[in-house]
Structure 1
Amino acid sequence: MSNGGGYNADAQPGGGYAAPPGAFPPQNAQVSPQAQQWFAMVNRDRSGKINSEELQAALINGHGQKFSDNACKRMISMFDNDASGTIDIYEFEKIYNYINQWLQVFKTYDQDGSGHIEEGELTQAFTQMGFALTPEFINFLVKKSDPNNKEVSVDQFIVLCVQVQRLTEAFRQRDTQQNGTITISFGDLLAIAIRNM
């Protein structure tokens, strides 16, 4: 679980519309042995719950650094069904599978195997995922992710893709005519932006 990767506006990595799970698992739900093993390693305080700091300590990006605090908090919030700020083993298994799906997609776009995506690779990734983003916007995303090296690590890529996905979903909900334009109030715009920060 050291790298992760890509996303589609219409599809989750590997297929299907991306939406966090919304229901608790049944009492007899089975957790894979791999997820159980990772959960035991990550759950350092043995509380039976994992917070973003514990998750961050377990994840390494392509630069050999821990995943960003932002990426870990976003992933916890996506799968934290009871809004406790922590995830249990069932929620953890969903994150475990999610990250492994991203890893496979990320590797597809990291064609040179560098552990990060450069601007050209990011452009190709978003284009293949169905996003018609301008070169200027792609350049903005890369600079936002890494102002110094101008490359996007796995955790940064996940955050960018989740943000684009959530904003796309918010846009589509408001694009009732399906014509690619919406009218939005300033308050609604702020609410969308703050939810996706």
Structure 2
Amino acid sequence: MGARLALWARRRRPSEAAAQYNPEPPVSCPLQYNPGPPPPRTHYSNIEANESEEVRQFRRLFSQLAGDDMEVSATELMNILNKVVTRHPDLKTDGFGIDTCRSMVAVMDSDTTGKLGFEEFKYLWNNIKKWQAIYKQFDVDCSGTIGSSELPGAFQAAGFHLNEHLYNMIIRRYSDEEGNMDFDNFISCLVRLDAMFRAFKSLDRDGTGQIQVNIQEWLQLTMYS
């Protein structure tokens, strides 16, 4: 039997195997997030007769952005997002880099084509619009960034209920030396969080709060992200 890694949502005892990950949430602050359903794997041409006018308008926008192959690459996503942020001078950002956009494409790429199809892009785009509004709402000092004290409220408004340990990890990874998070890092972080919760939920089929994966599944989950 191949090596297996167990991911447990509980406290690890010293005697347990080392190949385990324990977020160790306090009882009063469980890790919570209820992600929406993953984008369906449908081709752009599969247009439903009962689509709303809003969806049809988004299809027209997508066809203008996606290029001839009707899929959005990391480079195309980078260009799209950087055009958007230039219209919002109140959002402090260094711009979306190609590595950030490659990571965003990877965690959203449900059919592993290396690009985003219509439904994948629509899911990402709708989340970015929602998170942009939250970012502005919680930038209470109008600095253009979200400080470490503002971050928990912003994440909770986005639906992520994390513990203090995870918040501190996120600040160290996505914020500057003073603990301030700019817009592109905020979006990049939430895209990854959303994807990781969705991946966990898809593997936690019996809803126990713990999953077991083999080494191949683990590498696929962590390396293409």
User: With structure 2 as the length reference, what TM-score do the two structures score?
Assistant: 0.58
Unaligned runs of 5+ in 2: 1-31, 86-90
Q: Which residue of 2 aligns with 1:9?
A: 33
Deviation at 1:52, TM superposition (A): 1.0
Worse-matched range after superposition: 79-88 or 149-158: 79-88
One of 12, 21, 31 as aligned partner of 2:40:
21
RMSD after superposition = 3.8
The secondary structure found in structure 2 opposite 1:148 is coil
Distance 1:101 1:69, change over 3 A: same
Query: C-alpha separation between the residues in 2 aligned to 1:51 and 1:177?
Result: 34
Q: By how many angstroms is 1:144 displaced? A: 0.9
Structure 1 unmatched ranges of 5 or more: 1-7, 12-16
Partner residue in 2 for 1:138 = 167
* Letter aligned with residue 133 of structure 1: N
Aligned length: 180
CA gap 1:93/1:109 in 2 versus in 1, 3 angstroms: same
Deviation at 1:33, TM superposition (A): 4.5
Does residue 104 (structure 1) correspond to residue 119 (structure 2)? The answer is: no
Aligned to 1:167: 196
Asked whether the 8 Å contact 2:73–2:116 carries over to 1, the reply is yes
Within 5 Å, which residues of 2 pair with 1:39-58?
40=64, 42=65, 48-58=70-80
Match of 1:85 in 2: 114
| Letter in structure 2 aligned against 1:19 | P
Which whole-Å CA distance do the structure 1 matches of 2:211 and 2:156 have between them?
26
**Equivalents in 2 of 1:148, 1:94: separation in Å?**
32
Max Rg structure: 2
The answer as to whether partners of 1:39 and 1:92 remain within 8 angstroms in 2 is no
**3-state SS, counterpart of residue 165 of structure 1:** helix
How far has the Cα of 1:98 moved from its partner? 3.2
Q: Percent same amino acid among aligned pairs?
A: 19
Moved more, 73-82 or 98-107: 73-82
Shift of residue 165, structure 1, vs aligned partner: 3.1
Residue in structure 2 matched with residue 3 of structure 1 by the alignment: none
Q: 1:68 to 1:127 in 2, by over 3 A?
A: same
Code of the residue aligned with 1:58 in structure 2: it is: I
